[in-house]
Chains A and B, each alone.
Chain A
């Protein structure tokens, strides 16, 4: 049997000695669309950053397709939070998408015609090809998010980490992203998506990882999305609970 796309064992991450994630154990099966949900400060972004080796970990290990993550970064694609970069930066949409090819290119190599073609193809998939030569500040929030997605597509990875791709996007972009995620899943990719909106989380994902500084629950959405686990995840946050209770009542 081939090794799982992502295997995390006893992962603990601390910021300034204060742990924000405790002993995370996780084995993600291939070809799944996994939503990571939890309250603010639950460590959702921290988990995916630590899984990619972007943060120092206090203990534990991460394996990607059976190898330590640092050795297998080429099989990992990443969509950071949109707010993490300066959108006034002097680059075009095309320049940003080409960055997705850099990992495969390696040092000292320039993007070739193949890389440009690939980047155009990825831009086309998110319907942003007409904007290829625009400077990135001249885009709406949803368009910027689609540029980030195109860059991740250009990475041609097998395991994707996406940090809040749905935050601050218009309805059209949201459905475009969902269609794209389904397409990737159909192609056998594994996707872990940080998501902040509970009512939609229930419909979007095959599996849910409920996180609040530790793994509260992980499993198929229909098994995990219930009152008890959500209450455990969100604790006494009544506003969210009532929102979810409403969602459960309506959909359940």
Chain B
């Protein structure tokens, strides 16, 4: 029963991986020697050297920025995953805008960019914002989207007013407060990183401890309450963690774009996996990568705002998942559709060959391109391409310079199966569903390619007489191929 033990330790492993990631980041922070100049000054070195320097934590000013960006990426990715599966993406947006007045008030507390004061102010403002949303939802006829829009805009407006006011004050060290709008990773200091590490640690531990509760309350809140879980408490707990995550991300990403760091890595992860614990891990990794990359690009461009770069990096990850995801990706879907269309095309060609042979009572060898073209009402060139496709798939061989098509045993089997599917379905529609005989052909044209073996058996069981279709044509029996093909080749001349 090691199997169930495996399932059981999955979430444990995810937690361990995340904790390992965190601790190695912290280790780097406190062990790397602080020397070397800022990256921005080293314009003569190559991009590669700059990247090497940046990502090996050699530069002290860069070190905090990079670490902070990675931590916030992990934090946002984890919590964003729950937002995405709970369909609460807009809540993240509203919350992040609602914290701005809190940031300003936290700054006004002692006219300094004190991380703890700002953290407390922003968290309170964010929670107040979500409380107002709930209040509007419960006491008025307004729906959640409207309430979110209202709160988002009004809190943000208050925040902007306060920010402008602070800018105009004659006293105090105002440096950095303006960076909260679009984010500046370079403004992250040692105290900020410590706070970020604590918050990220708390988020990881809480999610690990209460993973099963967060899972069931997100998936089926009604059932969760029926087994006695305090669903509301978990909802507000998640909101609180979310407010924490938004606040620690503010400095590097900025109020305007922080919701993108919540949603984008999680959305990319959602496209790539269909298990919650894997989604959490992937989103954390994507968030971290986007954070690091965003910080790096911002440094390369001489301390441009970090937020947009992080969001662009995350969007690039999402775009890659969207295009190249193995199951839900656009390319994979396109490829599946293309191969299905090609299969249907081949099956239609085989069916046409069957019809040609049937029309001459299965006499004579092979079908000429011209006959096939007439039957399908297409040009010889088009039909030649289809014949070539049959040839490449081993369903037919071509003779006389490709002018004559001979179906192989495999091809013949497939042709009989398709015609049989078509006629059985027509028979079913007329006999059992009581449709008129002239109404059933179009439907059967589509269904014939989709009927599985199971369904065909079911049809055979239900239909008493499967000799003739509603139009009076014989329903062929699919020849069974046993072992060597040569022996059992039924050939099209024999109707088994």
Contact = CB atoms under 8 A, between A and B. Distances in A.
Interface of A: 49, 52-54, 70, 73-74, 76, 78, 80, 84-86, 89-92, 94-96, 98-100, 102-103, 105, 107-108, 110-113, 116-117, 120, 135, 137, 151, 155, 161
Contacts of B8: 110-113, 116
A111 B218 CA distance: 18
B210 A108 contact: yes
Contacts of A84: 220, 222
B450 to A, nearest CB: 15
Could you say which of B4, B12, B85, B218 has the most chain A C-beta atoms within 10 Å of its C-beta? B4
A90 B225 CA distance: 20
B87 A90 contact: no
Interface in B331-362: none
A207 B8 CA distance: 41
B7 interface: yes
Could you say which of B87, B215, B226, B229 has the most chain A C-beta atoms within 10 Å of its C-beta? B226
Given A54-B222, A92-B275, A99-B212, 9 more contacts: A70-B228, A73-B226, A80-B226, A86-B219, A89-B276, A92-B274, A96-B219, A103-B227, A105-B212
Contact of A99 (B12, B223, B225): B223
Nearest to B230: A107
Could you say which of A53, A70, A80, A99 has the most chain B C-beta atoms within 10 Å of its C-beta? A99
Contacts of A151: 223
B1 interface: yes
B225 A54 contact: yes
Could you say which of B222, B227, B279 has the most chain A C-beta atoms within 10 Å of its C-beta? B227
A102 B1 contact: no
A250 to B, nearest CB: 22
B212 A113 contact: no
B270 A90 contact: yes
Contact of B226 (A54, A96, A116, A135): A54
A176 B450 CA distance: 27
B5 interface: yes
A115 to B, nearest CB: 8
Interface of B: 1, 4-5, 7-8, 11-12, 85, 87, 209-210, 212-213, 215-216, 218-220, 222-229, 270, 273-276, 278-279
Nearest to A117: B4
A85 to B, nearest CB: 5
B495 to A, nearest CB: 35
Given A90-B270, A90-B273, A107-B213, A99 B219 contact: yes
Given A84-B222, A102-B213, A155-B227, A113 B1 contact: yes
A112 B9 CA distance: 10
8 contacts: A54-B222, A74-B227, A80-B223, A90-B275, A91-B276, A99-B219, A116-B4, A137-B274
A100 B227 CA distance: 8
B4 A99 contact: no
Contacts of B220: 80, 84-85, 99
A76 B226 contact: yes
Nearest to B229: A102
Contact of A91 (B12, B215, B222, B227): B215
A117 B220 CA distance: 23
Contacts of B216: 99, 102
A70 B229 CA distance: 11
B210 A107 contact: yes
Nearest to A78: B226
Nearest to A96: B219
A208 B12 CA distance: 47
B5 A113 contact: yes
B7 A90 contact: no
B174 to A, nearest CB: 45
A70 B209 CA distance: 24
A78 B275 CA distance: 24
Could you say which of A91, A92, A108, A135 has the most chain B C-beta atoms within 10 Å of its C-beta? A91
Given A49-B222, A90-B279, A99-B220, A135 B274 contact: yes
A215 B223 CA distance: 25
Contacts of A92: 274-275
A89 B226 contact: no
A113 B213 CA distance: 19
Contacts of A161: 226
A110 B11 contact: yes
Nearest to B1: A113
